[in-house]
Each structure stands twice: as structure tokens, then as C-alpha cells.
Chains A and B, each alone.
Chain A
């Protein structure tokens, strides 16, 4: 139990507050005698420093005795019991009084100190530094672990108090109780003052200090180094300030003094009021009163700071407003600010041009400005009259006062509300729509033009489609007409053949003598009928051939054959004519590959060419020369020594119904369709037919054909 209580005491000891200490100092200041000062200290130690029981003993060196004069936690009888002679050199408490500053007695067995039973205690010396003998002892139970700083502080405080009490004038005080009471009251008044009050002699030595002043200017032995230093500094500052006052500096002895709070370490600002006081006994001294003005100075500084901040804020607001004005003026669109009454309070330059009259402007301009103003006011009042709407958009028809031109604008007005929702202003921005309207007009025109163009294109396309359809129909009609023509020609040819067949048949039969012998003139005439009928037949056949080729009704039949054999066949077939012509017909056939093409058509071409040569060669010879030309081609040339064909007619002779001489009384028979048919057939066989000829020097027709006709 003792140990537990002791640990609580240790813990409590360390937390003795400055206020508690101040309270003790004040208490001691009020004490006018040794016994009451000792009793106050004993009680303070129990209350604030964690002691259970305390006894204070005073040493009376003149009588050589140490006796208990006060106690706390113990009875009066108990501390009065403590009384012994200082002559007992081996007494533990005498030893504690003369040597060291504190002693701890654990479980004391010495019968001479049966103070707290068998509980341990600590004794701390009061006063007695240096030459002076100790004034007494403070005994504290239970024993204190470690350096008993709080107890020492209390011992010092008590020591100073005892010294002061002993200095008080004893005689009269003791002699006159009224004066003594007055003295005590005065002292209490000084101590009760919350400002530190000091009395110094002319040498600057401190004579009297109240409790507050002691806190600042005195340091007990056991305080921390920091606190001691703070007290030293305070003394230095105070002395300096005081000496300046003594020298007559400052006004009316009033000056500021910056000190350090020894316990807190914070700065304290005081106003120092010093007054010289003359005392007949003590001589002249100085009474100094320090008034704490730390908080006041702080408040002043705060006010200064707030004021500066206010100034800065004001400047910022002004700058902001200037910037805003600049911004508003730099906007090209008119901006107008109206107050809650609808009156214009601010507008930028573009708005000014619409709503203000330039001095010296005409009647018209003034009228326009009035009209603009009326339009604008009616627009804004529309927004003012509605409580719930915060913005309004609309179009206003304004006019430019300088030019008199229409200015259609789109207006956007917005309510500016204060923090409490109260209407402060209406800001309206006008946007000139002239350009937009013009652009729109242009766009409409473009659209119209585009549509027109589109329509034209559509019409042209339709027309084109129409034409195409017409052409297609015409092509179809042409094709049908062509087919009809072919069919017509085929029919005509058939209808012509039937009577021609009879004419030819009867003529031949009669000439043959089927109907009896004929006279010479009869035979001659009948022969002419026969010859003309045959010519007519040839004509009909050739027309039919051309018709068939053009109608695509002459199929190609590819067979393998020997060209030399074919040439022999052709000459054999025409032998009667050759014989009658009396010309020499020579065949010069080289080594030829087997041909694979339409034999019948090749034959028809060769018959035609040879017939022509025989027809147009009065004398000389005809040569048929066939040879290989290149790898896949052969040529067959029919060369005559006949009348020849002038250069100018080389193309013409391949045309339909053409002979060089096309007069009715021409010298040579034939339909004039032969070469035309040859050319067509050659083309069908993918060959060429060329003519080389000079008038009176004969002609050479050269047929060039691929040896194999690929379909």
C-alpha cells in the first residue's frame, strides 16, 4: 500500500502547476509570522506536491534547538513532539540540517525519530545556502524518489518568506496590533495586485516584490536551466529599462518592456510605470508597476493585419472590375446591364452605338435611339415581370442610328441574383443576326439553284434514257427490217427461179431437138434466149449469196482438203470456157500443207477469180500460183495479162454491182457482184484479198488464207 501511494505521489509531484506555485507564493506573502508561513507550506505540500504527511521544523541557533512548528496530515501534538538539541551531533536530523540539502530515511529504526511510525520520509533543508546556517527542515512522508524538486522549491519559497518575516519591524508591530494589522493588509493588497509590483533601491537592488513579480524575477536553486536563464534575462531587461527611466529617458517614466514567461517560455509585453519613492528609513527607491499588455498588442496587430487585408481585397475587387470592364468593352456584341428597375446601368461601346445619341446627330438618329430603347425596354421588362424565369431569348428589330439600316438582333438576357436570391441586375447580350440572315438567304438561293440544276440533270437524264429507248427500238426495227428484206429477197429469188427454171428447161430441150429439128435462125434466137436466161440466173444466185451472207445464213463448214486438188477441180470445171478463150492457163503449185477451212467457199472464190481473169484477158496467159507464206498461211494468186484496172478503181471494184465500166453498153458481161462476194467470203474465212494491177498490164488478185480456220 505504501509503495502504491508513493508512486501516485511521484506522479502527482511532477504535475505541480505554475498556478499552484503562484498560489503558495501569494499565500506566503500574506503570512506575517514564521509559524503561519511554515503551516501554509506544510499544507501546500500535502495538497499539491503529493505528500501524505508533512512536518516543518525550525532551527533556533541562538538556543541550540530544533523544534516542529507546523504540520499537515499530522496532529499538533505529533509535530510538537519533535524537539531536540542541535548539540547531538550524531542525531540524523541534525546531520540533515548541517550537511547536504535533502536526505531520505527508509524504514528508520532510530528511536529518536519516531515521527511517522515506521514509514520512510525525506527531509529537505530550508535556507542555509553558503555561510548562513539552515533555518529549518521540511519532513515529508512518504519518502520522495529522486531529487525532491517540488519540495525544494517550496523550501526555498518558505526560506525567502522566513527571511522577509524576520526583517519586518518587530518591536512596534508586536507592540501595536492595529499597526501590525495595517501592515499585513498593505502587504496583502500589494500581493493581490495582478500586475507585478517591485520596489528597488537606488542601486537597483530588489527590496520588495509581490508574488507576480517573484514569478518573473526570482528563480529557486532547483529550477531548470531554461527557467533560470529566463529569470536572468528578465532581470537584465528590467534593470536596463529602470536605468533608462532613472536617466530620464522615455516620457513620464512610461515604457514598454519585453519579458519572458519563465514557466511557459512565451514572450510577455509589459508597460513599465516607474515612480521614485522617498522613504525616511529606507532612503529613496523606485516603485515599478508592470502592466501586461501582451494581449492588447496582439489585438492591435490583429486589427492592423485585418485592415491591410481589407485594403488588398479592395484593390483586388477594383482590378477585377477594371478587367471586367475591359472585357465587356472588347466584346463585339452589344452588352447591356440593367438594374432591377429596368434602367440601363452599364453598357459597352457596341451597345452605346445603338442606344446613345451622339451630340450633333440629326432628328432621325434620335428617333431611332428612342425606338431602340423602347424595343429593348419592352424585351427586358418581359423578363422582369416573370418571377420564375431567369433567362430570356428573343429577337429584337433594332436600327443603326448612324446608318439607319435595320439591325436584326438576337437578345439573350439573364438575371443576376444575389446570394439570398434577390435580383440585382439583368445582363443582356445582343447578337447581330444581319450576317446570319444574309448567309441564310444566300444558302436558300444556292439551294434553289442546286435544285434547278438537279432538275435539269434529271430531265437530261430522262431525255437520254428516252433517246436510248428510241435508238434501241430503232435498232430492233432496223434488225426486223433487215430480216424482212432478207426474207423478201429469198422469196423473190424463189419466185423468180420457178419461171426461170421453165424458161431454161424448155430452151434447152428445144435446142436439144426434143421438139424436132430447128432452122438456123431459130437455133440462133433460141440460143440468145438461153444465154440471157442463164445470165439472169447468175444474177439471182449472186444476189441470193450476198443476202445469205448478210443475213448470217451462210454457215461455215470446215473440212480438211488438198488445195492443189481443189485448183485442179476449178480449172477442170472451167475447162469449156478456157478452151473457148484460147488462153494458156498455168498452175504453179508448191508443196502445200493440208488445208482446214471451208472448201466450198474457197472454191467459189477461186472460180470467181479465174472467171474474171478469163473474162478480162483478151490474149496472153493466166497463172495460178499457190504457195506457203509463213507458218500458218498460204497464198493463192491469180495472175493475168489482161486489160488491167486503173489505180483509182482498186477499191471500187470490190463494191456491190461494180465494174470499172458501168455504162449500159459495156464491153464485158457479168453482174458486178462477183468480187463483192469474194471479199465477203474471204473475210468469213479470216483471210485477205488484194489487188495489184496497172492499166493494160494485167491484174494479180492474191488471196491469203490461214491454213487452219479456227472457229
Chain B
């Protein structure tokens, strides 16, 4: 297991489907990221304000407050609007991607997305700003 360090980037994974949430969380930790999790929009906003993550991985279709609404509120709040939001959606129909971008998402990724590919996209968004966790190896 990689050692956790305060300087490692913190990713808030928001998804109501536990299998997906825990899968990405596990892989991110494996790749050297710190990980926080939220099951819905309300929890996501709460944790974002509290933990100030370096990036939020946001599923769009969720109960209570969905990804679109949560992103809008985060981007409307001065304390959280600087946090990049990467949206994940199972809907491949055009329209979902546009509406997510207009809600304030910085990047929209369509499911299914392999953990390995996701890390690549996340690293692109964070860029050189955060310390990049050491990776074991690329998938075959």
C-alpha cells in the first residue's frame, strides 16, 4: 500500500453506486492519491467545503441532489469554485456532456472508463500542480 502523505492530492469520489465508488477509490489510493468519498450531491458539497479536495470525481445521475446541481452549487460558492470537477456519466447520449459542462464541470468522461484511463485524465486536469503519486505500472 502506498504511504499517505499530506502533500498527496486529495480526490473526492462522488457516486451513489458503491461498487464503482470504492473501485475508483481503491485504484486512486493504489496510485498514490488521497481519497475521500461521498454518496450524493449534498454530502459531496459538505465534504468539498470541509476537506477542500484537489479534484472532485462526480457521477451525474444520483439521488437527493444530482451531479449537475451539486456542481452548480460548488461552482457558485467562492470557497469551492476553484476545485476542478471531472464528471462521469453512463449516458452516452449527446446532451448529457453539454449540460454537464454548462453546469461547470471541467471534464466529462463517459462510462465505462477503466481505472487506468481515469487516472490519466485526472493527471491531465491536475497537471503539474499536485505531487504525482508513484505508479506501479501501466495495465497490459
Instruction: Check B112 against A537 for contact (C-beta < 8 Å).
Output: yes
Report B9-53 residues with CB < 8 Å from chain A CB: 17, 19-20, 23-24, 26-27, 30
Instruction: Check A509 against B20 for contact (C-beta < 8 Å).
Output: no
When C-beta atoms are compared, the residue in chain A nearest to B89 turns out to be A494
A493 and B24 CA atoms in complex are apart in Å by 21
Instruction: Check B93 against A505 for contact (C-beta < 8 Å).
Output: no
- Does B116 interact with chain A (Cβ within 8 Å)? yes
When C-beta atoms are compared, the residue in chain A nearest to B24 turns out to be A505
- A136-144, A547-555, A584-592, A691-699: which one contacts chain B? A547-555
B21 CB, min distance to chain A CBs, angstroms: 10
Instruction: Check B136 against A513 for contact (C-beta < 8 Å).
Output: yes
- Does B82 interact with chain A (Cβ within 8 Å)? no
- CB-CB under 8 A for A504 and B20, given A490-B91, A512-B136, A548-B93: no
A555 and B93 CA atoms in complex are apart in Å by 11
- CB-CB under 8 A for A514 and B27, given A494-B91, A541-B92, A554-B94: yes
Instruction: Check A502 against B20 for contact (C-beta < 8 Å).
Output: yes
A293 and B91 CA atoms in complex are apart in Å by 150
Could you list 15 examples of A-B contacts with CB < 8 Å? Answer: A490-B92, A490-B93, A497-B90, A498-B20, A500-B112, A501-B112, A508-B115, A508-B116, A509-B26, A509-B115, A511-B139, A513-B136, A514-B26, A548-B93, A548-B94
Q: How large is the interface on B (under 10, 10 to 19, 20 to 34, 35 or more residues)?
A: 20 to 34
- Does A506 interact with chain B (Cβ within 8 Å)? yes
Instruction: Check B94 against A512 for contact (C-beta < 8 Å).
Output: no
A490 and B95 CA atoms in complex are apart in Å by 13
- Does A564 interact with chain B (Cβ within 8 Å)? no
> B17 to chain A: which residues have CB within 8 Å?
498, 502
A501 and B115 CA atoms in complex are apart in Å by 9
> B116 to chain A: which residues have CB within 8 Å?
508, 512
Q: Given A494-B92, A505-B27, A508-B115, list of 17 further CB < 8 A pairs?
A: A490-B91, A495-B90, A497-B90, A497-B111, A498-B17, A502-B17, A502-B23, A505-B114, A508-B116, A509-B30, A512-B115, A513-B137, A514-B30, A541-B92, A544-B92, A553-B94, A555-B94
Instruction: Check B112 against A512 for contact (C-beta < 8 Å).
Output: no
A572 CB, min distance to chain B CBs, angstroms: 17
- CB-CB under 8 A for A501 and B93, given A512-B137, A513-B136, A514-B30: no
Interface residue count on the A side (C-beta < 8 Å): 26
A456 and B94 CA atoms in complex are apart in Å by 54
Instruction: Check B27 against A501 for contact (C-beta < 8 Å).
Output: no
A505 CB, min distance to chain B CBs, angstroms: 5
Interface of B is mostly: loop
Q: Which residues of A contact B (CB under 8 A)?
A: 490, 493-495, 497-502, 504-506, 508-509, 511-514, 537, 541, 544, 548, 553-555
Instruction: Check B113 against A501 for contact (C-beta < 8 Å).
Output: yes
Instruction: Check B112 against A505 for contact (C-beta < 8 Å).
Output: yes
A500 and B113 CA atoms in complex are apart in Å by 10
Instruction: Check A508 against B112 for contact (C-beta < 8 Å).
Output: no
When C-beta atoms are compared, the residue in chain B nearest to A545 turns out to be B92
- CB-CB under 8 A for A553 and B24, given A505-B112, A509-B115, A511-B139: no
Instruction: Check B26 against A497 for contact (C-beta < 8 Å).
Output: no
A505 and B109 CA atoms in complex are apart in Å by 15
A498 and B90 CA atoms in complex are apart in Å by 6
Contact with A along B78-107 (1 / 0, CB 8 A): 000000000000111111000000000000
Instruction: Check A505 against B20 for contact (C-beta < 8 Å).
Output: yes
A546 CB, min distance to chain B CBs, angstroms: 12
A637 and B30 CA atoms in complex are apart in Å by 46
| A-B CB proximity, top 5 nearest | A501-B112, A494-B90, A497-B90, A502-B19, A501-B111
When C-beta atoms are compared, the residue in chain B nearest to A495 turns out to be B90
> A500 to chain B: which residues have CB within 8 Å?
112
When C-beta atoms are compared, the residue in chain A nearest to B88 turns out to be A501
B19 CB, min distance to chain A CBs, angstroms: 4
Instruction: Check B20 against A501 for contact (C-beta < 8 Å).
Output: yes
Instruction: Check A512 against B139 for contact (C-beta < 8 Å).
Output: yes
A618 and B2 CA atoms in complex are apart in Å by 45
When C-beta atoms are compared, the residue in chain B nearest to A500 turns out to be B112
A555 and B95 CA atoms in complex are apart in Å by 11
Instruction: Check B139 against A501 for contact (C-beta < 8 Å).
Output: no
Instruction: Check A508 against B93 for contact (C-beta < 8 Å).
Output: no
A362 CB, min distance to chain B CBs, angstroms: 104
